[in-house]
Amino acid sequence: MTINILFAAQADRWAQYEAPLTVALNETGLAYDLRTEFAPGDVDYIVYAPNSEVQDFTPYTRLKAVMNLWAGVEGVVKNQTLTVPLTRMIDENGLTQGMVEWVTGHALRHHLEMDRHIVNPDHVWDHTPPPLSKDRPVTILGFGALGQACAAALLSLGFPVTGWSRSAHPMDGVTTHAGAEGLTQALTDAQIVVLLLPDTPATENTLNAQSLAQLPRGAVIINPGRGPLIDDAALLAALDSGQIGHATLDVFRIEPLPQDDPYWTHPKVTVTPHIASETRPDSASRVIAQNIRRNEAGEGLQHLVDRSAGY
């Protein structure tokens, strides 16, 4: 029987995904039909981006799963009309690799204090060397697919790494803490904090006036997670007081970041336009196709979202 797969994302994405998805689905050996339009009652799987036209899943009576193209699912996870399994993107060869490169790059920028030499209008010959990585503890808030991959990369460069998550995830060479009570311990020594938590009601304002005050003075924040993880007013106050040395922010409560947002002009803030990492069509298509193959073979779906936890 033919499996009908609906690609439901913004129109311009189809041009990027049609060929790689076709190649990847062909590799599975399944009989399939991949299109951007079907009668809803004929659809077996939806490859999905939350801002697509599909917002009501009720007419999709034959649907077996919705496969979110992105790692973050906050745009679909609360949709009450969605009653079938929801998967999210975990792609070591694309999305994860991109995040590892972005996080290590920005961590190294701050660790090596590169800005002192890149922006040096007075031509100051400041010979002070930065510390070695072994003396620069890094804490990663959110120790899942992306957090653990970034930890491994930072560890290989010699940084002492601490990871924090909801449940415990022991990892060789990494100090790990779990649960709300573990946050203080995770922050106490951190000179660089990387946020890789999902956007859920429980993670909103994880960095607030109280938790920012628990960091050593001058700590650097790197946020490629989601905007609501940070209380913006508290971060701006901590930057102004010197408690926080710099913030590199890739994600915001409102995107694109409005032109009058103080982050744009703050001298201790670097804004990047949600480019920390991106789902890459070639490798992501293989993840999606193999997940459909697994489900059709009765092997179960991978990368399932826990709807009650919100990620």
| Nearest CB to ligand NDP, comparing residues 136 and 166 | 166
Residue 66 CB neighbours (<10 A): 25
Paired residues of 246 in beta bridges: 220
Determine which one of 274, 280, 303, 307 is catalytic: 274
Nearest approach, Cβ of residue 253 and ligand NDP (Å): 13
3-class DSSP state for residue 35? strand
- Report the nearest approach of ligand NDP to the CB of residue 91 (Å): 9
Token pair 């415990």 is found at 168
**Closest separation in Å from C-beta 32 to ligand NDP:** 27
Residues that bind ligand NDP (CB under 6 A): 71-72, 90, 95, 99, 142-147, 165-167, 169, 196-200, 202-203, 224-226, 250-251, 274, 276-277, 311
User: Is the Cβ of residue 52 or residue 203 nearer to ligand NDP in the bound state?
Assistant: 203
**Residue nearest ligand NDP by beta-carbon distance:** 144
Residue 20, SS3 per DSSP:
helix
**Closer residue to ligand NDP, CB minimum distance, 166 or 246:** 166
Assess whether 226 carries a catalytic annotation: yes
Largest CA distance in the chain: 72
3-state secondary structure of 7: strand
Residue 266 among the catalytic residues: no
3-state SS of 148-197?
Answer: HHHHHHHHHCCCCEEEEECCCCCECCEEEEECHHHHHHHHHCCCEEEECC
Residue with Cβ nearer ligand NDP (30 or 301) = 301
Cα 257 to chain centroid distance, Å, stands at 18
The catalytic residues are 226, 274
